[in-house]
Chains A and B, each alone.
Chain A
Amino acid sequence: GAGVSQSPSNKVTEKGKDVELRCDPISGHTALYWYRQSLGQGLEFLIYFQGNSAPDKSGLPSDRFSAERTGGSVSTLTIQRTQQEDSAVYLCASSQNPGEKLFFGSGTQLSVL
């Protein structure tokens, strides 16, 4: 596609449920990033994928969060047993190579009731 695509755009869930957020990066981009944007906070780095290398998971806030990137393309961010503090906008970005210009998707607005 022309840009980074994220789905769903909005997700409302109940506390304790699991959610999956999807990111389709720009074709040919080797690097993929997930960020979280909470009210009153800046963008917070979550995880980074580069090619076939082991991902940098250093930003994941707890073991309830996990992500995978299949075939070097699509990525899924999974949050298990969601909590109210998980409510935020989850943004995905890709770049052609590490350190190059980031292109962000429109994000998934997650609301945990």
Chain B
Amino acid sequence: TQLLEQSPQFLSIQEGENLTVYCNSSSVFSSLQWYRQEPGEGPVLLVTVVTGGEVKKLKRLTFQFGDARKDSSLHITAAQPGDTGLYLCAVSGGSNYKLTFGKGTLLTVNP
């Protein structure tokens, strides 16, 4: 059983559409991170959420941490082809350095 379940696994949309991807767990976390990974590159940290109910915005990206700190969502408004990539959520379980990642959502935004 995966600690973090990400959905959907794949998402293909047209430029200009809105989308939401999810990261769910049955465990409670002190914080959760979202990364974007482009082909041939390593993941890049987008945001860290730490407070239940917290909402953070990064340009057209809106991140929310669930009230119970068990889940998170990423909403993209008016998606652009540059948003294409693998979106990963990650948590540190038990230690402050060892991250556990979900399998990710592979997003393709078509022009």
Docked complex: A74-113 residues within 8 A CB-CB of B: 91, 93, 95, 98-99, 101-102, 104-107
Q: Out of B41, B45, B100, B103, name the residue touching A45 (CB < 8 Å).
A: B100
Verify A42–B40 contact, CB threshold 8 A.
Answer: no
- In the bound complex, residues from chain A placing their C-beta under 8 Å from that of B88 are 42-43
**How far does the Cβ of B94 sit from chain A's closest Cβ, in whole Å?**
11
Q: Chain B at the A interface: mostly helix, strand, loop or mixed?
A: loop
**Distance of A101 Cα from B31 Cα, bound (Å):** 13
Docked complex: B2-18 residues within 8 A CB-CB of A: 2, 4
Residues of chain B at interface, number, CB under 8 A: 20
**Distance of A56 Cα from B103 Cα, bound (Å):** 23
| Closest partner residue, chain A, to B38 (CB atom) | A106
**Distance of A31 Cα from B99 Cα, bound (Å):** 13
Q: Is A40 in contact with chain B by the CB < 8 A criterion?
A: yes
- In the bound complex, residues from chain B placing their C-beta under 8 Å from that of A26 are none
- In the bound complex, residues from chain B placing their C-beta under 8 Å from that of A98 are 96-97
**Distance of A10 Cα from B4 Cα, bound (Å):** 29
Sort chain A's interface into a size bin: 20 to 34
- In the bound complex, residues from chain A placing their C-beta under 8 Å from that of B104 are 42
- In the bound complex, residues from chain B placing their C-beta under 8 Å from that of A107 are 40-42
Verify A31–B102 contact, CB threshold 8 A.
Answer: no
**Distance of A43 Cα from B4 Cα, bound (Å):** 12
Q: Is B68 in contact with chain A by the CB < 8 A criterion?
A: no
Chain B residues in contact with chain A, CB under 8 A?
2, 4, 40-45, 88, 90, 92, 96-104
Can you offer 5 A-B residue contacts whose CB atoms are under 8 A?
A35-B101, A42-B103, A43-B90, A91-B42, A107-B41
Chain A residues in contact with chain B, CB under 8 A?
4, 31, 33, 35, 40-43, 45, 48, 50, 56, 59, 91, 93, 95, 98-99, 101-102, 104-107
